[in-house]
Amino acid sequence: MRELEELLEYHSRKYYIDNAPEISDFEFDALLRELQELEAHYPEDADPNSPTKRVGSDLSSSFESVAHRFPMQSLANTYSSEELGEWIDRIVRELGEVEFVAELKFDGTAISLTYENGALLRAVTRGDGQRGDDVTANVRTIGSVPLKLRGEGYPQFFEIRGEIYMPYASFDRLNAEREAQGEPLLANPRNAAAGTLKQQSSQVVAHRGLDCTLYHLAGEGLPADNHYANLMAARAWGFKVSDHIRICRSRQEIEAFITYWDTERKRLPYATDGIVIKVNSYANQRTLGSTAKAPRWAVAYKFQAERALTRLISVDFQVGRTGAITPVANLEPVQLAGTVVKRASVHNADQIAALDIRLGDMVYVEKGGEIIPKITGVELSERPADSRPFEYITHCPECGSELVRYEGEAKHYCPNEAECPPQIIGRIEHFVKRKAMNIEGLGGETIELLWEAGMLHDIADIYSLDPIQLATLPRLGEKSAANIMEGIRQSLAVPFERVLFAIGIRFVGETTAKYLASHFHTLDAIASATTEELAEAEEVGAKIAVAITEYFSDELNRVIIERLRRAGLRFEAEQKRVVSNALQGKNVVISGKFSGRSRDDMKALVEEHGGKNLAAVSANVDFIVAGENMGPAKLQKAEKLGIKILSEEEFMALIADGDNTEPAPQAEKTAEAQSEPTKHNNMPIQGSLF
């Protein structure tokens, strides 16, 4: 079994990484079948990283949320050579002569792989940067990911990060299969890769043909003290590392690399959307440090979007859950950035008028950020002689209601919230999605089925569903009905901030819901608050405050809320623990970015020690805790009002004093002192993970 594993790993590497296969697919499959038969007879001797795992399993699995050992940061983006030049010059001024590494930016989904004693231990998605999904079973099916390392010199325990993507050939094959089966086509390789990685069946993942290129190595005991040398070592251990990596020692060399690949990338068999430039030396990386979100020693230069010329055939109008009308252009199919584009966004009536888009026009189409196609212009020289200006619709294409356009809004809206089908279905789909109530089994098709059967009219109806009725519907049955009812039952444990997000108040997204829940603690308090009181919560301006008051002033919404209350949903935030009364009676503003804690962590500390968080700087504020990059307007207002400003360290010392509720004298800092940026150099390992 061990000999077969070694032989299969060798031939996998020759096929997937070296692109130099030495045996036929038939011979490879014969070896694989032999190993599978041995593992079936001797399961106790099967290796969890056996090459047979690449075939995948048809068993369903859910993904465990895993905390990253180190946060997966994002990269700062730049879109112009001038901005890139300023970034390079800034680093050279600080460090002197420095080596950079330029490499392609793959357009896929980020992954973190952990290896222990040379074997793949875990594969985790980026998630929110702090936690991701454990997708190890699915990643094991990707041929270019080594299950066991070869050679020597690798650390006992380390992480390597990179990008999982779907090559164009795999994407085209997958869409051809879906079209033949009457299924909707996937939009682009990037989304296809992300969706595939989250498939519940690793057997499906194995079939779809994902690939993986690694670009960042981190851990203790790495063989070299710089990025490039460690990537070369990783290649020797069996990792797929891009051949298109160059050391650059000047701005001119970096710009030449970018210019070359801006054209040549179109010949690559996979999608790229830019060039990543990194400082090579780890010592220099530590000197430069990081912000809360991104390293200062790396930047992503994003290519200008590709564009193509094609004919506009017609325009459809889609109705969203808020009633917003979105026009979508139907185009003659055209090749663009590796995919065939048939539809594109035109956003709203103003854009159609500004571009003077007309049916039959030859239009320019771009992919915004290389993903979402949009019309950016018209080739007037090819306009038909009999063309007429486009007339935007005046009534809802779904329910016939006359459209309205609110002051300050670019879009038109259907005001018929209670009876317009796409709005009703859209609100229910929003309510059940993962980051809201997370009710498994209630997908878009099932919700439409239940709505057509008269079983769902609003979100509260979910909690009145009858499993016997569900089981009688087409495509469901007893097992699916039982799964839906179990998902509904589990949703009763969803915390208040997600319930608040789920009910679908206009403009209240996931983050705003968290701030509202933290500030007001209960749904009743939010419902009874004035617009002025609502605006006191962080991230809640006048526009959102008005939307919240309008939502709770609607009788239909109030009835739905009461039905949800009776169903048992959580309308109160969990009780915050009280550690001391050090901040009793104090109003505190937390602003900026902090090296040791997030802003949410800092706000939690304020409440744990008896204080109250405020969003705005006013005469009611007792003091401000200022981190890096505090807004200049807040600083100016604080200085004008004479409000004390504390650093993170001073704040921690204050609450450590227990009952002492007065800031220490040294806490008074000037706005100028606080405005100086700080560097985060507390990096525990070689390299910085992102």
Token pair of 329, please? 């252009």
Token pair of 226, please? 């710089």
**Contact residues for 319 (Cβ-Cβ < 8 A; gap 6+):** 325, 326, 396, 397, 398, 414, 420, 422, 423, 426
Q: Following DSSP, what letter does each residue of 586-643 receive, concatenated?
A: -EEEEESB-SSS-HHHHHHHHHHTT-EE-SS--TT--EEEE-BT--HHHHHHHHHHT-
The span from the CA of 579 to the CA of 589, in Å, is 19
- Half-sphere exposure (CA, 13 Å, Cβ side) for 227? 30
Q: Following DSSP, what letter does each residue of 235-273 receive, concatenated?
A: HHTT--B-S-EEEE-SHHHHHHHHHHHHHHGGGSSS-EE
Report which residue type is found at 225.
Answer: D
The span from the CA of 220 to the CA of 584, in Å, is 44
Token pair of 195, please? 């969706």
Hey, is 362 helix, strand or coil?
A: strand
The span from the CA of 590 to the CA of 538, in Å, is 10
Which of 228, 276, 256 is closest to 107 using CA atoms? 276
Hey, is 657 helix, strand or coil?
A: coil
Q: Following DSSP, what letter does each residue of 390-428 receive, concatenated?
A: ----SB-TTT-PBPB--TT-SS-B---TTT-HHHHHHHH
Hey, is 511 helix, strand or coil?
A: helix
Token pair of 574, please? 């969990």
The span from the CA of 609 to the CA of 622, in Å, is 15
Angle between helices 168-180 and 189-197 (to 10 degrees): 80
Alpha helix locations (H) across 237-377?
251-264, 282-288, 349-355
CA 342 remoteness from chain centre: 26
Query: Out of 14, 53, 105, 679, which one is annotated catalytic?
Result: 105
For residue 105, indicate whether it is catalytic. yes
Q: Which residues form the catalytic set?
A: 105
